[in-house]
Amino acid sequence: MDNKNNNIILSIQDVEKSFPGVKALDQVSIEIERGEVHGLVGENGAGKSTLMKILSGVLKKDAGTIIFDGAVVHHTSPVESQRMGMSIIYQELNLVHTMSVGENVFLGRFKEMGGMRGTHTKAKTLLDSIGANLDTYQLVDELSVSEKQMVEIAKALSFESKLIIMDEPSSSLTQDEMDKLIAVIKQLKEKGITIIYISHKLDEIFELCNRVTIMRDGHVIDTQLTTDITRNEMIAKMVGRTIENEFPERPKCDGEVLLEVKSLNTHKLKNVSFELRKGEILGFVGLVGAGRTEIVRAIFGADQVKGHEILIDGKVVKIKNPKDAMNAGLALVTEDRKQQGLVLSFTVEKNVSMASLDRLSKFGILNKSKEKDMAQRQVKGLNVKTPTILTKVSSLSGGNQQKVVLGGWLETGPRVLILDEPTRGIDVGAKYEIYLLMKEIAESGGAIILISSELPEVLNMSNRVLTVYEGRITGEFDPLKTTPDHIMRNALGMGEEEQNNDQAN
């Protein structure tokens, strides 16, 4: 018993965490053995990031116990957890870009390191020890992503960490850089440092990890030795089975082409082309940061583009800003409703009318009674739970806020409704209502582009699915005729490799 306990460096027991309307972690228990590389996989929204934030002390857990290196961990700050010997390397790297490499390694600890000179010498030693040949006086801003990662690793080592958690370290690395990172991780492992490795890239999991934990919907589904599980089993467990009644029956679609996008290019997107038919719900599947949001923002004229052509009903339309897009019959429900969708300090009424303001006015004068009618119509039609239309939207729940955004766009009478993560942070009831609404719009001849990190949602609502990976469209699928695993593989950029395998067979 003692021996076993001593072998466990981190024990997570029944940890729970809820956000308003969502249970992010439900009775999560994982044991990490000393000296292993432990993989953690799951779809976006499975709860991995929440768990990491709790471990690092950024978030507070609602219930459960965390034991690290034999001691119970109470709520800490990121610094405290680092000083205990547990470091996290985030996806968005935590470096001050305007400062030098050396200073970033010892940020906030210059004095302990014996001033500037000590800081740089010690940073150099640390970086050399992981084979990163960097000038410690260089600004972090001038480094490549992989070099920044090396700085983060050196920073983690500087705390003499016993456990390093890496959150998708490879998401923006080239193959060469990845090989270097793998070498460093193996080296750390030899030094006896435990690593939790979070990634979507299953190849890496199999190459690096001894064991792997699969999470889904805030639950731990399974923990296995990587030698005991196949890639397909792993994907099946990540995707899971869907509950039948969670989604309404999808509408049938056999209309003509409504929207056509040709060779859309931005600094992030490469040659994106697709078409959308009347009555169709088109799903985009891809990782966060793969370029899904960038595609719809570019179409909507919200970001600058390098060149593209958009046709509606076969006719070319020029879209330079959101207003042009609206005139062309597009509507965009953005992914971040608080930052980009709502004016939080304004009333429900004013938020609903925001996108239709020009139609509500004649000779520049607002028709207030029409505005009121509009708000009341949408509050009633979408079943928004608000005391009155004069309530501030900031006091509504997430689901009702989202309905306010939707209501505002519906009033513009869009022909193409673009929904970016429409159900994020929303309770189940409101989700279903939004699904029904999507169905209704599609059936009445509109078309919908749906972006969602929740795979079941996209697969069950869409007539057709496009996978996006690193700014490109990597595949087109009929969700009724394709398995979720297959679509997921394409979204992870593994589609081509699979084709090769098929051919080999």
Partner 1 sequence: MDKMNVKKILSVITNQRAVLAIVITLIVVAFNNNNFFTIYNMKTMLTTSSIYLIIGFGATIVLVAGGVDLSIGFNMSVSGVLAVYLMNNNVPISLAVLCALIFGGIVGAINGYIVVYQKTEPFIITLGMGISLLGLGRLITNARPIVAENKAFLNISNGMIFGERLNLIYFTIIMFAVVHYILRYTSFGRNLYAIGGDYEVAEYSGINVRANKFYAFVLSGVIAALGGVLLASKFGTGNANYGLTTGFVIYSAVVVGGTSFAGGIGSVPRSAIGLIFVYGVLQNAMNMLRVNSYTQMVMTGIIIATVIALDSYSRKRIREKV
Partner 2 sequence: MTRQIRLGSVFNTLLKEYTIVIGIMVLVLITSIVEPRFMTSGNMINIMRQFGPLILVALGMTFVILAGFIDLSVTGQLFLVAVIVMKLIDPIGQIPAMLVGVAFGGLFGYFNSKVIIFSGALTQAEALFITYGLSTAYIGIGQMISNGKTMNMSIDLTSSYSMFQYVGLGFIGPFSISFVIFLVAIVILYFFQSKTYMGRSVMLTGGNKTAARIAGIPIYRSITIVYMICGIMTAIGAIVFMSRATTVTSAMSIGLETDVILAVVLGGTYLGGGRGSVLRTIIGALIVILISNCMNLLGITIFWQDITRGAILIIAIWLDAQKNN
Q: Which residues bind partner 1 (CB under 8 A)?
A: 58, 77-79, 82, 94-99, 103, 107-111, 115-116, 266-267, 304-306
Whole-number Cα distances in Å, 206 to 197, 198, 229: 11, 12, 10
Q: Of 79-87, 178-186, 232-240, 356-364, which part binds partner 2 (CB under 8 A)?
A: 356-364
Give the interface segment with partner 2, choosing from 61-69, 89-97, 188-196, 317-325 (CB under 8 A).
317-325
Based on its alpha-carbon atoms, the radius of gyration of the chain, rounded to whole angstroms, reads: 25
Q: Is the dihedral of CA 325, 415, 425, 38 positive or negative?
A: negative
CB 434 within 8 A of CB 422: yes
Instruction: Return the residue of 68, 90, 247, 300 that touches partner 2, per CB under 8 A.
Output: 300
Question: CB-wise, 164 or 384, nearer to partner 2?
Answer: 384
The two structure tokens encoding residue 20: 């308003």
Segment contacting partner 2 (CB under 8 A): 198-206, 272-280, 341-349, 481-489?
341-349
User: Which entry of partner 2, partner 1, none binds 500, CB below 5 to 8 A by partner kind?
Assistant: none
Q: How far apart are CA 206 and CA 227, in angstroms?
A: 8
Query: Taking CB under 8 A as the rule, does residue 180 contact partner 2?
Result: no
Contact 326, 335 (CB under 8 A): no
Question: Of 23-31, 347-355, 448-456, 462-470, which part binds partner 2 (CB under 8 A)?
Answer: 347-355
Question: What sections of 363-450 are H helices per DSSP?
Answer: 368-381, 398-410, 428-443
Contacts of partner 2 in 454-493 (CB under 8 A): none
Strands 8-19 and 281-285, sheet pairing? unpaired
Which of 323/380 has CB closer to partner 2? Answer: 323
State the Cα torsion 303-285-235-10 to the nearest 10°.
Answer: 30
Q: Contact region for partner 2 (CB under 8 A) — 90-98, 219-227, 346-354, 460-468?
A: 346-354
Read off the amino acid at residue 253.
C
Per partner kind, with CB cut-offs from 5 to 8 A, the member of partner 1, partner 2, none near residue 109 is: partner 1
> Binding mask 397-416 vs partner 2 (x if CB under 8 A, - otherwise)?
-----------x--------
User: Which of partner 2, partner 1, none sits in contact with 385, Cβ below 5 to 8 A by type?
Assistant: none
Nearest to 99 by CA among 77, 82, 123: 123
User: Rounded to the nearest whole angstrom, what is the least distance from the CB of residue 95 to partner 2 in the complex?
Assistant: 24
Rounded to 5°, the CA angle 118-121-126 comes to: 120
CB 226 within 8 A of CB 211: yes
> By CB under 8 A, is residue 346 in contact with partner 2?
yes
Residue 308 half-sphere exposure, CB side, CA atoms within 13 Å? Answer: 30
How far apart are CB 263 and partner 2 at their closest, in Å?
A: 24
Residue 180 or 337 with smaller CB distance to partner 2: 337
The verdict on 345 binding partner 2 (CB under 8 A) reads yes
Angstrom distance (rounded) from CA 257 to CA 242: 31
Q: Which helix (H) or strand (E) holds 185?
A: helix 175-190
Q: Is 334 among the residues that bind partner 2 (CB under 8 A)? A: yes
Which of partner 2, partner 1, none sits in contact with 236, Cβ below 5 to 8 A by type?
none
Amino acid at 24: A
**Among residues 323, 381, 395, 499, the one that binds partner 2 under rule CB under 8 A:** 323
Least separation in angstroms between residue 36's CB and partner 1 is: 27
Helices (H), 191-262: 202-208, 231-239
Measured CA to CA, the distance from residue 499 to residue 505 in angstroms comes to 10
Phi and psi at 390, nearest 5°, equal -100, 10
Of 100 and 223, nearer to partner 1 (C-beta) is 100
Give which of partner 2, partner 1, none residue 77 binds (C-beta under 5 to 8 Å, depending on kind): partner 1
171, 210, 242, 340: which one binds partner 2 (CB under 8 A): 340
The closest alpha carbon to 209, from 232, 236, 234, 238, belongs to 234
Which entry of partner 1, partner 2, none binds 323, CB below 5 to 8 A by partner kind?
Answer: partner 2
Least distance (Å) from partner 1 to the CB of residue 153?
16
Q: With CB cut-offs between 5 and 8 Å by kind, which of partner 2, partner 1, none does residue 107 bind?
A: partner 1
Which residues make Cβ contacts (< 8 Å) with residue 483, sequence separation at least 6? none
Shortest distance (Å) from residue 434 CB to partner 1:
32
Q: Determine the Cα–Cα distance for residues 214 and 476; give it in Å rounded to an integer.
A: 27
- Contact status: 355 vs partner 2 (CB under 8 A): yes
Burial of 290 (0-12, 13-18, 19+ CB in 10 A): buried
Which among partner 2, partner 1, none contacts residue 64 (Cβ within 5 to 8 A by kind)? none
Binding residue (CB under 8 A) for partner 2 from 72, 366, 390, 428: 366
334, 401 Cβ separation under 8 angstroms: no
Q: Does 292 bind partner 2 (CB under 8 A)?
A: no
Instruction: Please pick, from the candidates 63, 316, 343, 428, the single residue that binds partner 2 as defined by CB under 8 A.
Output: 343
Binding partner selected for residue 302 from partner 1, partner 2, none, CB under the kind-specific 5 to 8 Å limit: partner 2
DSSP classification of residue 230: -
What are the residues facing 307 on neighbouring strands? 265
247 vs 300 by CB, closer to partner 2: 300
Which residue reads 């996006």 in tokens?
A: 468
Q: How far apart are CA 465 and CA 216, in angstroms?
A: 21
CA 57 from chain centre, in angstroms, equals 21
Q: Near partner 2 by CB under 8 A, which window of 2-10, 80-88, 259-267, 322-330?
A: 322-330
Give the footprint of partner 2 on this chain (CB under 8 A): 300, 302, 321-323, 326, 332, 334, 339-346, 350, 354-355, 357-358, 360-361, 364-366, 368, 408
